[in-house]
Amino acid sequence: MPPPVAVGAAASVLAALGHAPTTLDQLLERTQFELSQVNAILLELELAGTVARAPGNVYERITPPTPRA
C-alpha cells in the first residue's frame, strides 16, 4: 500500500524537503514554521514511511518500492 498523501503543513514540509537530503535548519528557513511544528510533521512523515532521518541529522524522502505485477 502506498504511503498516505501529505496535506496541509505536511505537504509544505515535503515541498521544502525536495528530493535531496536537507537539514532541519534548511526546512525551518524554507517553511518559516516553528521548530516544534516541523519536528511533529517530520515525525508523522517518518512514521508514515515517507521521510527518513539520514546520518548527519539530515532528512530525505523515501521512495516506496514499485509493486511487481
In this predicted structure, what is the pLDDT of residue 1?
39
Q: Taking the model in full, what pTM does it have?
A: 0.79
For 2-48, write each residue's pLDDT tens digit. 444 456 899 999 999 988 999 999 999 999 999 999 999 999 999 99
Burial of 19-31, coded b for 16+ CB within 10 Å and e otherwise, reads: eebbeeebbbebb
Crossing angle of helices 9-17 and 24-31, rounded to 10°: 120
